[in-house]
Every structure is written in structure tokens, then in C-alpha cells.
Amino acid sequence: MPQKTIELLKNGLESNKAEKFRRGNLISLPGEVELITTGDIHGHRRNFERIVSFCDLANNPNRHVMFQEILHGGPEDEEGHCQSYKVLFDAISYKLEFPERVHFILGNHDTAFINNSKVMKGGKEVNDSIRLALDHEFKEASEDIKLTMKQFLFSQALAIRCNNRIWLSHSLPSGRFSEKFDHRIMDRELKINDMVKPGSAYLLTWGRNISQEVLDATAELFDVDIFILGHQPQNQGWGQKGENLIILASDHNHGCLLPIDLSKTYTVEALIDSIIPLASIS
């Protein structure tokens, strides 16, 4: 059982690195693709299943889907420890079924898991909680599982750039840190230090409340028009947080997804009109 999980994680990380549309840490998707974009999942299995059901990848050969921040949140084991990793493992199996069409991008909680750094949420340290649940389930194999999980998380792309000038990442560098961000991180090999403040993978995934000025400068830097991000909680499942920014959330009963036809040019308004509540999917 642990050996199967380690193999799954290893195959997943090889698959992340081998994606044909990936160069360095950026996935650039062409016009013939329809991309289903989603926000943070946070261990919400039912929403993960709804996304899979909506995608129906087996019958839609041009359709792709992206996931972010699956870890932390959702069901707990009998000792109250976080079992969100189970949804991650299922998402990796899904990727291995459709390796070129299921994409993962790095979230800030992934950087924290990789570094064993502390993130408090609801009075609990969330990474400790995941590690304890893994110890409980995998016993003496737990250290190997945790190491391979870190390697998997580290192998994820940083962002997706769509043919129609839409950019997807977990967040964007904000405030004064936007000046410290080195966009060359998209092209080069990642280092552990990139995941630690003020490393550029850290800055890309942890930013909040991004000003219009920074959004405009970042759009120019990445040569895109519109950003779709996760990371910041959205009670109604989505929010427009700037002239060119939509934030999605897929981690609760009002969670959403957003299908995008990459051959079409969108306004932010047209994208908002295309948002689909996950609760409407059976």
C-alpha cells in the first residue's frame, strides 16, 4: 500500500515535468484547448468529483483542467488530523489517466509543506495536521511518503499562460514584493530557496490584495491581459478584485469553476458570465 502511493507520487511528478506544453515552470496552452479553471480545493472531495464529472475528459479530447491548492482542509481522521492528501492522491491518479490534460500549479500551502513551515488556520498548524494524519495512515513508511509528496509538490508548474492572453497562477506578487519578483523563475530550474520568502515562487503564491498598479505592471511583465487566481477566500465562489482580475474558489458549497475556450478573446465580464457553480453539477 505505501509502495503504491510512493509510485503514484513519483509517476505524478514525472508526468508534471514531461508535459508537452510546459517550458521551464510555465505551461503555455494553445488555441484549440478548452481549459476548465478552478480555484483552491482545500480537501473538498465532493467538489473535486464535480469538477471531474463536469470535465468528462474521456469524451472531450480538447478539454484540459487545472487544479491548485488541494492540500489542507476537508475531512479529518478520528484524531482530528487533516486528510486532504487523499484528494491530492486521487487528483494525481486522474492526471496519470490524462497526463497532458490535467495540470497542477503550485500553491502557497505547497511551498509551506515543502519547507515544513508553519501555517496557522482555525487554531491549528495545518502542515503538522497533514503530517500526523500521514504518520497515522502510513506508519513507518510515512517519512518516505512525506518526502515523495514534497518532491511531487515541487515538480508542479508555477503558472499557465493561455493562447488568448489569460494568465493562471495561485496568486501574484503584491505590494513592495512585486519589485523583488524575478520573472526569470518561469524559465529556470526551481531551487528550494525560491519557495522561501522572498524567493520568487514564494512571492508568486503568497501575494494578497494586489493593487491595480501592480496588476497592470504584472500583466505587462507576463504579456497577458487577464488574471485568474485562487488563494484569497471568496464566499460566493468568485470575485472580481481589479479591472483585470478574477479570483475563483472551489473549496465550499458556493465554489465555482470557469470554462475558457482558448480560441476566443474574453472580456472580464464575459468570463464572469461563464462561471459555473459547482453545486449545479451532479
Residue for grid cell 507520487 = 9
Q: Which is nearer to Mn ion, 107 or 255 (CB)?
A: 107
- Cα separation, 42 vs 119, in Å, equals 14
Q: Which is nearer to Mn ion, 102 or 229 (CB)?
A: 229
Q: How far is the CB of 256 from Mn ion (least distance, A)?
A: 16
CB 101 within 8 A of CB 111: no
Q: Which is nearer to Mn ion, 5 or 250 (CB)?
A: 250
Q: How far is the CB of 240 from Mn ion (least distance, A)?
A: 19
Q: Give the per-residue SS3 of 132-168.
A: HHHHHHHHHHHHHHHHHHHHHHHCCECEEEECCCEEE
Q: Which is nearer to Mn ion, 72 or 101 (CB)?
A: 72
Point out the residue whose Cβ comes nearest to Mn ion: 231
Residue for grid cell 500526523 = 132
Q: How far is the CB of 13 from Mn ion (least distance, A)?
A: 21
Q: Which is nearer to Mn ion, 8 or 201 (CB)?
A: 201
Q: How far is the CB of 136 from Mn ion (least distance, A)?
A: 25
Q: Which three cell numbers stand for residue 78?
A: 478520528
Q: Where do the DSSP E strands lie in 203-274?
A: 226-229, 238-240, 245-248, 256-261
Q: How many CB atoms lie within 10 A of CB 188?
A: 12
Q: Please give the angle made by the CA atoms of 110, 250 and 103, to the nearest 5 degrees.
A: 55
Binding site for Mn ion (CB under 5 A): 69, 107-108, 231
Q: Which three cell numbers stand for residue 166?
A: 489569460
- Cα separation, 246 vs 233, in Å, equals 12
Q: How far is the CB of 171 from Mn ion (least distance, A)?
A: 7
| DSSP code at position 185 | G
CB 218 within 8 A of CB 9: no
Q: Which is nearer to Mn ion, 155 or 171 (CB)?
A: 171
Q: Which is nearer to Mn ion, 166 or 248 (CB)?
A: 248
Q: Where do the DSSP E strands lie in 42-97?
A: 63-68
CB 84 within 8 A of CB 72: yes
Residue for grid cell 494586489 = 210
Q: How far is the CB of 207 from Mn ion (least distance, A)?
A: 10
